[in-house]
């Protein structure tokens, strides 16, 4: 089989980036029967074992060849933070070849009663340039591979469960939900994100139900249409404004794909997926998009539609021109939506003491390091 270049690192294939079909083709290419792929997946995802020597039901000769041709490699942890509210955050580094500086991404775990959500990154940096987002300030660096995306979940599982491999029994799992709400625009890294969601939802993979894997997009309409055909995960859309005039300012991709076109893509997605509803994220920016007039406009867009609005209190970061809407304004906005036929909830702010919001940790460390060491970001992060 031929594997795409970006799946091959140092000539070894990182198995965490291979879907069941890819893995079957890979083992067949090694002269093995396809069921070996299923055995491998059980070791990787059910027993959390990445060391080929421990995979005792595989022939020794196969294991030796695997060691030469394949690897199980996860991003490296550079910094761990624990919030007093139980939120955990990791700064991770991904390698970008011999002559490139390693790059930093973030991952956040948010425990709640009855569920645990892992927020993962899909790109290093982001090119969407949303005006209220700290990742945007860093610009776009690179796409993550499917292996680096799945590797985040594999790593978090180990970090959270310690030596004890996570049980296949869902009740004991600490990670029950995955959201692509870390750094990056997942639909701008379409193919790698699709492979990763397939591995996350595969019953031989992480076996997370399709309603619990959420891709969040700023509104890349053509990719949303493709997504509707190719996968069946949940979709969240970063709306943030009820009019094109305002959304053009906050989410620049809106200049290309207007709200009406975006919403059409949303309803198409639901129809194709036979799913219940789409979550619309709406960041609450003081005096910008948080007035009752905005709520009224939002109601006229969404009333009677299979939509839920998730209000996100803005997380401030250095040098931002925005402020978080006061709690009373957020409640008033939420109540207006709810009493006028649009289901709305407010996202609780978590991990405030550890800069848990997307892009903030990298941003903060980066600010510090650019002064001290130019682009040598990660080596300095290790000292922090
Ligand atoms: N690119 C994807 C995923 C990115 S982040 C997207 O746009 O959906 C996940 C969510 O956090 C998005 O809704 C994003 O708009 C929001 N967000 C970004 N910066 C924020 C900030 N400073 N405060 C609150 N929410 C923010």
Residues 56 and 182 in one domain: no
Measured from the CA of 182, which atom of ligand 1 is nearest?
Answer: 5
Range of the domain at 370: 76-382
Instruction: Say whether pTM exceeds 0.85.
Output: yes
Eight-class DSSP state of 144: P
CATH number (domain holding residue 212): 3.20.20.70
If asked whether residues 60 and 81 sit together in one domain, one would say no
Q: Is 217 in the pocket of ligand 1 (CB under 6 A)?
A: yes
Q: How many percent of the chain have pLDDT more than 90?
A: 77
Q: What is the pLDDT, as a whole number, of residue 349?
A: 75
The pLDDT of 168-172, averaged and rounded, is 67
CB-CB neighbours of 162 under 10 Å: 7
Q: What is the pLDDT of residues 271-284, one digit of tens each?
A: 998 888 999 999 99
Closest C-alpha to ligand 1, atom 17? 133
What is the structure's pLDDT at 368?
Answer: 37
Better pLDDT: 358 or 319:
319
What angle in degrees, to the nearest 10, is found between the helix axes of 327-339 and 292-302? 30
Angle, alpha carbons 258-264-266 (nearest 5°): 105
What pLDDT is attached to residue 363? 52
pLDDT number for residue 375: 29
How far from chain centre, in Å, is Cα 61? 37
Longest dimension (CA), the chain: 69
Atom of ligand 1 nearest to the CA of 240: 15
Tell me the average pLDDT across 308-335: 96
**pLDDT category, 359, cuts 50, 70, 90?**
low
Averaged over 10-18, what is the pLDDT? 91
Q: What is the pLDDT of residue 10?
A: 55
**Do 52 and 136 belong together in one domain?**
no
376 and 289 share one domain: yes
Atom 21 in ligand 1: residue holding the nearest Cα: 315
pLDDT value, residue 161: 87
Where in the sequence numbering do the catalytic residues fall?
A: 106, 358
Whether 62 and 119 map to the same domain: the answer is no
Residue 50 sits in a domain whose CATH number is 1.10.150.530
Cα(187) to ligand 1 centroid in Å equals 14
Three-state SS for 143? strand
With a 6 Å cutoff on the Cβ, whether 132 touches ligand 1 is yes
Is residue 171 pLDDT above 80, yes or no? no
Structural domains of the chain, count: 2
CA of 128 to the centre of ligand 1 (A): 11
Pocket test for ligand 1, best of 124, 235, 281 (most atoms within 8 A of CB): 281
pLDDT value of position 378: 28
CA 232 to chain centre: 16
Nearest CA, atom 3, ligand 1: 181
- Asked whether 193 lines ligand 1 (CB < 6 A), one says no
Q: Tens of pLDDT along 88-142?
A: 999 999 988 777 888 999 999 999 998 999 999 999 999 999 999 999 999 999 9
| CB 134 less than 6 A from any atom of ligand 1 | yes
Residues 145 and 30 in one domain: no
User: Chain-wide mean pLDDT for the chain?
Assistant: 88
Residues 141-161: pLDDT tens digits? 999 999 999 999 999 999 998
């Amino acid at each position: 089989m031929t594997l795409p270049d970006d799946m091959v690192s140092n000539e070894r294939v990182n198995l965490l980036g291979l879907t069941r079909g890819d893995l079957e083709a890979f083992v067949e290419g090694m002269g093995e029967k396809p069921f070996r792929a299923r055995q491998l997946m059980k070791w990787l995802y059910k027993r959390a074992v990445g060391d080929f020597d421990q995979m005792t039901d595989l022939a020794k000769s196969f294991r030796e060849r695997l060691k030469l041709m394949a690897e199980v490699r996860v991003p490296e942890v550079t910094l761990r933070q624990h919030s007093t509210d139980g939120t955990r955050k990791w700064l991770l580094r991904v390698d970008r070849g011999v002559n490139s500086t390693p790059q930093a991404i973030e991952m956040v775990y948010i425990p709640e009663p009855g569920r645990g959500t892992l927020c993962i990154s899909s790109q290093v940096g982001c090119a969407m340039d949303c005006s209220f987002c700290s990742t945007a300030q860093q610009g776009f660096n690179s796409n993550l591979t499917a292996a680096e995306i799945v590797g985040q979940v594999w790593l978090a599982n180990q970090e959270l469960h310690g030596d004890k491999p996570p049980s296949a029994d869902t009740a004991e799992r600490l990670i029950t939900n995955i959201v692509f709400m870390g750094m990056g625009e997942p639909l701008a890294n379409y193919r790698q994100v699709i492979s990763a969601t397939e591995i996350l939802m595969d019953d031989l993979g992480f076996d997370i139900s399709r309603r619990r894997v959420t891709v969040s997009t700023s509104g890349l309409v053509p990719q949303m249409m493709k997504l509707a055909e190719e996968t069946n995960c949940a979709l969240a859309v970063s709306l943030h404004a009820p009019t094109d005039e305002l959304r053009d300012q906050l989410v620049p991709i809106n200049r290309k794909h207007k709200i009406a076109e975006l919403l059409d893509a949303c309803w198409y997605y639901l129809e194709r997926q036979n799913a219940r509803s789409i979550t619309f994220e709406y960041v609450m920016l003081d005096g910008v998009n948080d007035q009752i007039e905005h709520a009224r406009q939002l109601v006229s867009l969404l009333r009677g539609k299979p939509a839920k609005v998730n209000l996100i209190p803005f997380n401030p970061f250095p040098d931002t021109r925005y402020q978080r809407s006061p709690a009373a304004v957020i409640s008033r906005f939420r109540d207006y939506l709810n009493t006028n036929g649009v289901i709305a909830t407010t996202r609780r702010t978590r991990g405030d003491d550890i800069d848990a919001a997307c892009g903030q940790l990298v941003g903060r460390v980066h600010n510090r390091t650019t002064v001290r060491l130019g682009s040598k970001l990660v080596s300095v992060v290790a000292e922090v």
